[in-house]
């Protein structure tokens, strides 16, 4: 039953408010109270009469009538997050479906979120220019006015891919990129940002190319929150890539419009807790804003570990301008991966994840978080990195160990794998093969990256016989999501659509905001209404 432990009567000389409306509309039972609280587009009132304390969404506050104990305003998805984020990108909710490489967050996911008034980012990492070009065509045809974003991933060992992606984005008018895995700014990222700057009629800086940067460290966040450095602007001007005027305008705006604080997530992650990291980056933003006084301050969003409405609300209550999800979308219908992977993800618990070497930054020792349950990829990838650390070339690996490597992990001779590497880089970046032929350790890295890179593709295509080698990016949010949806229509992966998942998360967060607001006013609510389960769409 509903109770109240606050104070009634007058306070500081102000008369207590009352509620006026039909007594028959007051709900006292748990089920009826939940129905009333879930009418988010209507205000709610907690009132008391001879039957006890109840809740209603009709009537109005008044100076006469039944005692009004607490109120909750009407809410919507638009109520959460920063309104400036919504207006900048033309959204109905401060919700972003983050990019997952190799087109796992593909065209269908981006389009579905865009049509639902939310922002989806195409996972361009690992895609060839031809694949990326086709994706731009499809998304722009379906969402000519947006909203949509494309990923721009830092590729320190394949800079030609990053350069070509920027060229495509500039040529095709892609106005929003999600920049990820950056340790330092690159000329290509700066080119994209600054090429979209112009001066408005009132002298303001007009920004046409938006950057949403994923970060998990203060030093990286600083680079995105400050203007592009002169050492990168100068060469771009000299090359004719940007104008002198654009370089001057670049000194007045940050490198990113929005910075996403990425905590314990799937894929590239530092496994940091959001409750520690988000306030730190927000404080950094405030320090830089005080120093540089941008016309529009950098907004700070939250990602990593957000797989339930209560996690989403927690991020918003900490001041996040928007939230970004990833792992929960990986198991959705629109995700560009196999049914086998989606089933594994739908069965995962929070502890069913581990860190493993990444394909794109293997030599640097960078790790990604992957699914552990149902696959041996994580353990096998770690074994490859142990070989890389221990030996200077493939030839230096002892014969028995090499034979075991070929039999259990590569499942083919090293020479055959190398032939595959040559064919692969002939289409992407010929310089990689030339460098490997001059450096035996580099050649070994490419052979090992062959496995790491294909492990994702085997999972997305559902390669038979390679199930134990599937690389599935996943964070603990997946397990939390599975716990939350258990027993609902979203338990089965074939029912998980990305727009429904997003809507359930945002509506659930708004519902929980209302519940917590009433509790803060002294209302005692039954435990049965303190959580919101997914509601099947009509």
Look up residue 59 and give its DSSP letter.
S
Ranking 2-16, 413-427, 517-531 by mean pLDDT, the lowest is 2-16
The highest-confidence range among 41-55, 57-71, 152-166, 374-388, by mean pLDDT, is 374-388
For residue 513, whether the previous peptide bond is cis, meaning omega lies within 30 degrees of 0, is no
Triad 23, 24, 29: Cα angle to 5°:
105
Q: What is the pLDDT of residues 208-242, one digit of tens each?
A: 999 999 999 999 999 999 999 999 999 999 999 99
Residue 300 in 3-state DSSP?
strand
pLDDT score recorded for residue 176: 98
Domain ends where: 295, 325, 355? 325
Q: Are residues 514 and 427 in the same domain?
A: no
Using an 8 Å Cβ cutoff, are 362 and 340 in contact? no
pLDDT score recorded for residue 56: 95
Q: Are residues 230 and 125 in the same domain?
A: yes
Residue where the block lists tokens 């009826």: 32
Would residue 538 count as lying in a domain?
no
Would residue 497 count as lying in a domain?
no
Q: Are residues 275 and 252 in the same domain?
A: yes
pLDDT score recorded for residue 201: 92
pLDDT score recorded for residue 187: 97
What share of the chain has pLDDT > 90, as a percent? 84
In terms of pLDDT, which residue wins out, 6 or 454? 454
pLDDT at 9 over 60: no
Question: What average pLDDT does the segment 411-426 reach?
Answer: 90
Q: Are residues 304 and 404 in the same domain?
A: no
**Residue 31, burial from CB neighbour count under 10 angstroms (0-12, 13-18, 19+):** exposed
Question: What average pLDDT does the segment 70-77 reach?
Answer: 92
pLDDT at 16 over 90: no
When pLDDT is cut at 50, 70 and 90, the band that residue 47 belongs to is: very high
In terms of pLDDT, which residue wins out, 305 or 2? 305
Q: Are residues 400 and 446 in the same domain?
A: yes
Q: What is the CATH number of the domain that holds 102?
A: 3.20.20.70
Phi first, then psi, for residue 13 (nearest 5°) are: 80, 0
pLDDT score recorded for residue 353: 96
Would residue 92 count as lying in a domain?
yes
Q: Are residues 261 and 222 in the same domain?
A: yes
Q: What is the pLDDT of residues 522-531, one digit of tens each?
A: 999 988 898 8
Using an 8 Å Cβ cutoff, are 285 and 225 in contact? yes
Q: Among candidates 463, 476, 517, which has minimal Cα distance to 274?
A: 476
Sign of CA dihedral 190, 191, 196, 202: positive
Q: Are residues 182 and 154 in the same domain?
A: yes
pLDDT at 157 over 80: no
Would residue 17 count as lying in a domain?
yes
Q: Are residues 249 and 130 in the same domain?
A: yes
Q: Are residues 44 and 141 in the same domain?
A: no
Would residue 486 count as lying in a domain?
no
Q: Are residues 303 and 358 in the same domain?
A: no
pLDDT score recorded for residue 426: 76
Domain count across the chain? 3
- Residue 17's domain comprises 3-74+503-529
Using an 8 Å Cβ cutoff, are 118 and 499 in contact? yes
Using an 8 Å Cβ cutoff, are 501 and 484 in contact? no
Domain ends where: 325, 360, 383? 325
When pLDDT is cut at 50, 70 and 90, the band that residue 151 belongs to is: very high
pLDDT at 301 over 70: yes
pLDDT score recorded for residue 13: 41
When pLDDT is cut at 50, 70 and 90, the band that residue 8 belongs to is: low
- For 192-252, the DSSP string reads HHHTTEEE-TTSPEEE-SEEEEEESSHHHHHHHHSPPPHHHHHHHHHHTSS-HHHHHHHTT
Would residue 307 count as lying in a domain?
yes
pTM beyond 0.85: yes
Distance CA 523, CA 227 (A): 48
Distance CA 58, CA 213 (A): 44
Would residue 335 count as lying in a domain?
no
pLDDT score recorded for residue 12: 45
pLDDT at 11 over 70: no
pLDDT score recorded for residue 415: 94
pLDDT at 10 over 60: no
Q: Are residues 232 and 174 in the same domain?
A: yes
Provide the 10 A C-beta neighbour count for residue 148: 24
pLDDT at 7 over 70: no
Question: What average pLDDT does the segment 294-299 reach?
Answer: 97
Mean pLDDT score across all residues of the chain: 94
Phi first, then psi, for residue 145 (nearest 5°) are: -110, 15
pLDDT at 468 over 50: yes
Question: What average pLDDT does the segment 383-393 reach?
Answer: 96
In terms of pLDDT, which residue wins out, 426 or 334? 334
In terms of pLDDT, which residue wins out, 433 or 1? 433
Would residue 478 count as lying in a domain?
no
Q: What is the pLDDT of residues 94-107, one digit of tens each?
A: 999 999 999 999 99
Per-residue CA distances from 197 to 89, 230, 242, 252 (Å): 17, 16, 9, 10
Provide the 10 A C-beta neighbour count for residue 26: 25
Q: Are residues 43 and 101 in the same domain?
A: no
Question: What average pLDDT does the segment 434-460 reach?
Answer: 93
pLDDT at 113 over 50: yes
Q: Among candidates 536, 471, 531, 529, which has minimal Cα distance to 30?
A: 529
């Amino acid at each position: 039953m509903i109770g109240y432990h606050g104070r009634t009567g007058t306070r500081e000389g102000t008369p207590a408010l009352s509620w006026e409306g039909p007594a028959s509309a007051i709900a006292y039972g748990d089920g009826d109270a939940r129905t009333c609280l879930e009418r988010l587009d209507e205000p709610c009132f907690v009132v008391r009469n001879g039957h006890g304390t109840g809740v209603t969404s009709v009537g109005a506050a008044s100076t006469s009538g039944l005692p009004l104990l607490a109120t909750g305003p009407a809410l919507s998805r638009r109520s959460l997050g920063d309104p400036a984020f919504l207006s900048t990108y033309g959204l109905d909710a401060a919700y972003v479906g983050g990019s997952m490489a190799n087109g796992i967050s593909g065209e269908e996911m981006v389009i579905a979120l865009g049509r639902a008034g939310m922002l989806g980012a195409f996972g361009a990492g690992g895609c060839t220019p031809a694949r990326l070009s086709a994706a731009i065509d499809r998304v722009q045809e379906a969402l000519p006015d947006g909203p949509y974003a494309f990923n721009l991933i830092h590729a320190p060992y394949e800079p030609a891919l990053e350069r070509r992606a920027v060229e495509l984005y500039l040529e095709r008018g892609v106005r929003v990129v999600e920049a990820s895995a950056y340790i330092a700014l690159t000329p290509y990222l700066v080119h994209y940002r600054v090429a979209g700057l112009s001066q408005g009629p009132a002298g303001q800086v007009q920004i046409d190319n938006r950057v949403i940067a994923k970060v998990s460290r203060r030093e990286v966040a600083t680079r995105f929150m400050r203007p592009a450095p002169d050492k990168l602007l100068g060469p771009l001007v000299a090359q004719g890539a940007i104008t002198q005027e654009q370089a001057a305008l670049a000194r007045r705006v940050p490198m990113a419009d929005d910075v996403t604080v990425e905590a314990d997530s799937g894929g590239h992650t530092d496994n940091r807790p959001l409750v520690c990291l988000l306030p730190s980056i927000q404080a950094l933003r405030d320090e830089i804003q005080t120093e540089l006084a941008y016309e529009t301050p950098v907004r700070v969003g939250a990602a990593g570990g957000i797989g339930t409405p209560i996690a989403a609300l927690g991020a918003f209550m900490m001041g996040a301008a928007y939230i970004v999800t990833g792992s929960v979308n990986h198991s959705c219908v629109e995700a560009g991966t196999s049914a086998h992977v989606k089933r594994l993800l739908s069965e995962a618990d929070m502890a069913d994840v581990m860190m493993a070497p990444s394909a794109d930054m293997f030599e640097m020792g960078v790790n990604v978080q992957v699914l552990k349950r149902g696959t041996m990829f994580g353990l096998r990838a770690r074994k490859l990195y142990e070989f890389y650390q221990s030996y200077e070339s493939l030839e230096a690996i002892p014969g028995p160990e090499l034979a075991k490597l070929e039999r259990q992990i590569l499942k083919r001779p090293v020479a055959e794998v190398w032939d595959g590497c040559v064919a692969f880089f002939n289409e992407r970046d010929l310089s990689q093969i030339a460098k490997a032929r001059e450096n035996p350790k580099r050649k070994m890295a490419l052979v090992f990256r062959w496995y790491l890179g294909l492990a994702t593709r085997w999972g997305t295509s559902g390669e038979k016989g390679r199930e134990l080698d599937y690389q599935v990016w996943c964070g603990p949010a997946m397990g939390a999501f599975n716990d939350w949806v258990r027993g609902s229509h979203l338990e089965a992966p074939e029912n998980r659509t990305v727009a429904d998942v997003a809507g359930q998360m945002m509506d659930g967060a708004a519902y929980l905001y209302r519940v917590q607001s009433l509790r803060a006013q002294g209302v005692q609510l039954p435990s049965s209404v303190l959580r919101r389960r997914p509601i099947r769409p009509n």
